[in-house]
Structure 1
Amino acid sequence: MSAVFSKPSLLQRLKPWFQGFDIPLLLAMAWLMGLGLMCMYSAGYDHGTRFVDHARNMLLALGVLFVTAQVPPQRLMQLALPLYAFGVALLVAVALFGITKKGATRWLYVGTQIQPSELLKIGMPLMLAWWFQKREGQLRLPDFIAAFVLLAIPVGLIAKQPDLGTSLLVLGAGLYVIFFAGLSWKLIIPAMVLAGAGITALVMSEDQICQPEVKWVVLKEYQKDRVCTLLDPTKDPLGKGFHIIQGEIAIGSGGITGKGFMKGTQTHLEFIPERTTDFIFAAYGEEFGLIGALGLLIGFTALILRGLVIAHEAPTLFSRLLAGAITLSFFTYVFVNMGMVTGILPVVGVPLPFISYGGTAMVTLGLSLGMLMSIAKSRGGTQR
């Protein structure tokens, strides 16, 4: 009697690779990607191949997400220390012999130009999640102090380049891990009160501290200009304040329903600077109005809430800390980008996830979401 073996179909062979993928997270991503493609087609249709390149970058990010999702969290934890050490070594190399453009030394030539600071957006939360996982159940104050030191090294190196936007993102990702690890509110509340008092003092003393002859000790001159421009962009409406003013005009002119797809005058008459990258939300708000902005915010809110659910249900401390930090990092991206476009935060180079053009940022996005998907898969024991 002969046994008959049937060859598995292609669908049966592919099914294990997709098993355990978080459907709500994928739906939130699909919604944001759709809005991003629609916005990029309008804002970048006369801007070379921006739309085609944006679609290509999204496909690349999806590929990175799929591959990363196959890596169990235990393997990710093994990569934490080498990735962090490699990233810091590259930052030191940038400080010693990096490439300088427009007064900033952020790039390194290794056959091609790379920006090592991007690596720390992933390496920093990985490292700190690994650090606290190794000390689970026996955390003491020195462990938190050591975590702050691990965070301060790359943040200081990135800020020195100078790259305020990326340093804030790396700082935020690290602080989220430290917060979720159990940092006492007795330390958090005084820091928040001090920050609030500093911002209040800054606003009230704007006329005195923003005079040309006044030198700021911590920030460079161009960073001082950004803060002072935020406080009063009308002092130089055709120069330093141009970005903020035009962004506010574009968003305000969109009204409730917007001017319509491909009908944004501020956008297509090129009044909005960087309309396909940092200031793409201004172009989006002009054409789709308040309703469109709410639709975008709903997508980001759904993604962030789903990420926090995945973090809450993660099986290990490392997974919970990493998922929580990755998720709130998306909140940082959205808050900082929309804040600078609407004039409530200084202008820094922070993209809007899925919407802004940028290959490196999109790949980093795919890597982050791939890690989040890996953690989601591990909840049901589906990791191979």
Structure 2
Amino acid sequence: MDRRRVLSLIKTALTGFDKPLSLIVFLLFATGIVALYSAAIDMPGRVEDQLRNILLSYVVMIVIAYLPTQTLMRVAVPIYTVGVALLIAVAMFGLIRKGARRWLYVGMVIQPSEIMKISMPLMLAWYFQKREGVIKWFDFVVALGLLLIPVGLIAKQPDLGTALLVMAAGVYVIYFAGLSWRLILPLLGLLVVAITLLITFQNDMCAPGVNWPVLHDYQQHRVCTLLDPTSDPLGKGFHTIQSIIAIGSGGVEGKGWLKGTQTHLEFIPEKHTDFIFAVYSEEFGLIGNAVLLVLYLLLIFRGLFIAANAPTLFSRLLAGSITLIFFTYAFVNMGMVSGILPVVGVPLPLMSYGGTALVTLGAGIGILMSISRQKRLIQT
């Protein structure tokens, strides 16, 4: 094979590959490794493990990026069905760790709820694509049913953080499919009223012996601790108090890389996973946070641009939902670390240590690249 032929094949392979998105993801990975090195400096092997996780995430990303969107449509129903079946299996005979039944042993230990973060938007986008042009109110009821089945199973494990992420992924698809604001605004109004009542009657609602419907005791305690972290400063409120101190102590310029006192004196719990934003904020300050926010905003804007230019309804719904999943991850994580949201165990996307979440997010980026690539191939 001559040189010209090789160059031609390479050019064909790269046609439509989304370079801006690739650059943004690379910068976030690089920023995450820098923060993780400091957070895990006393944890040998963490950085090496994370580099392997990133490599695996890139492999998944590239493989999915070269899948046609028609293939993604064909696998939507099977993946969703398998995901729900695995969640049922978890409920029946899953592994129990730290009081939660979230894992399943199938030759190796897996967490099936992670599958639903991708299969949920795939399934709903497939459903609305099949109903394109004839979407009625009943279709939104069906979509809600498809969404509530896995969300209910995940919430029962209990895993409120993942349940909220899966719920958000599905709600984004339903919204982009044309759900009327006349239905959304009353729900938002009820949420505002509930929050207002909770804040107003905080002392009564959070008094010992008071049990809330739906939520487990530990989830109720997290909400109450959010409203007043000092009520349990060495227990439920410790995470929030220490992370707020770390963020505030970073100031404008930060204390410098590897110089965070809260971090290296072991005051920040889960500093290499869910609370890595506190480590980053302490060492890089307001300026570093501004840079990080810009990177996430660029990621979201690029994803929404891909969604707006997608060639089919399926692609638009899927790209829009996955993009806003990244927004939800970042918003919830930064919110809980900053003390404005309850601690729910949501990692900071592309930065927190962990293999499963990185692979899931890598698959999401791969889907965005696949949709972008398909659009460019159509144009050429």
TM (norm. structure 2) is: 0.98
Worse-superposed segment, 163-172 or 211-220: 211-220
Matching of residue 327 in structure 1 with residue 327 in structure 2: no
1:381 Cα shift? 2.2
Of residues 81, 84, 109 in structure 1, which corresponds to 2:105? 109
Q: Aligned pair in 2 of structure 1 residues 7, 249: CA closer, same or farther (>3 Å)?
A: closer
* Corresponding residue of 1:119: 115
More off after superposition, 208-217 vs 171-180: 208-217
Q: Which runs of 5+ in 1 are unaligned?
A: none
The answer for the alignment partner of 2:350 in structure 1 is 354
Distance 2:143 2:83 in 1: 16
Q: Are residue 38 (structure 1) and residue 34 (structure 2) matched?
A: yes
- What SS does the aligned partner of 1:381 have? helix
Other-structure match for 2:234: 238
- What's the offset of the Cα at 1:12? 3.6
Q: Is the 8 A contact 2:169 2:324 kept in 1?
A: yes
Trace 1:68-107 onto structure 2 (pairs within 5 A): 68-107=64-103
Distance 1:6 1:311 in 2: 39
Q: Alignment partner for residue 148 of structure 2, among 134, 152, 164?
A: 152
Whether contact under 8 Å (2:350, 2:358) holds in the other structure is yes
Choose from 167, 177, 181 the match for 1:171: 167
CA deviation map 1:292-330 (0-9, x unaligned): 001000000000000000000000000000000000000
Offset of residue 8 of structure 1: 4.7
Aligned length: 380
Query: What's the offset of the Cα at 1:6?
Result: 3.6
User: Are 1:19 and 1:382, in contact at CA under 8 Å, matched by a contact in 2?
Assistant: no
Unaligned runs of 5+ in 2: none
Amino acid at match of 1:265: T
Identical counterparts, % of pairs: 61
Report the Cα offset of residue 200 of structure 1.
Answer: 0.9
Distance in 1 of aligned mates of 2:100 and 2:138: 35
1:212 matches 2:208: yes
| 1:14 Cα deviation after fit | 3.0
Q: CA deviation at 1:7?
A: 5.6
Say whether residues 1:62 and 2:62 are aligned partners.
no
Cα separation, 1, equivalents of 2:7 and 2:163: 44
- How far apart are the structure 1 equivalents of 2:359 and 2:6? 28
CA shift at 1:382, angstroms? 5.6
Match of 1:381 in 2: 377
Amino acid at match of 1:69: A
C-alpha displacement at 1:33, in angstroms?
A: 1.4
SS of alignment partner, residue 183 of structure 2 = helix
Q: Within 1, Cα distance between the matches of 2:344 and 2:14?
A: 37
TM-score (norm 1): 0.97
Does the 8 Å contact 2:124/2:174 carry over to 1? yes
CA–CA distance in structure 2, aligned partners of residues 11 and 345 of structure 1: 51
Q: Tell me the CA shift for residue 16 of structure 1.
A: 2.3
CA shift, 1:9, in A, is 5.5
Q: Distance in 1 between matches of 2:379 and 2:165?
A: 30
CA deviation profile, 1:45-96 (whole Å, cap 9, x unmatched): 2212111111221111111111101101111000000000000000000000
2:348 counterpart of 1:364: no
- 1:57–1:9 distance in 2 versus 1, CA, 3 Å: farther
- Name 2:45's counterpart in structure 1: 49
Q: Which amino acid in 2 is paired with 1:180? A: F
Deviations 1:231-252 (A, max 9, x none): 1000111111000000000000
Indicate the SS of the match to 1:380.
helix
Partner of 2:278: 282
Residues 1:202 and 2:198 are matched in the alignment: yes
- Residue 254 of structure 2 is matched in structure 1 by 258
Counterpart in 1 of 2:130? 134
Alignment-mate amino acid for residue 160 of structure 1: K
Q: Alignment partner of 2:104: what SS? A: strand
Provide the C-alpha distance between the structure 2 equivalents of 1:165 and 1:16, rounded to a whole number of angstroms.
41
Secondary structure of 2:96's match? strand
Q: Give the superposition deviation at 1:10.
A: 4.4
Q: Which residues in structure 2 correspond to 1:262-341 (within 5 Å)? A: 262-341=258-337
SS of residue in 2 equivalent to 1:100 = strand
CA distance in 2, matches of 1:6, 1:282: 53
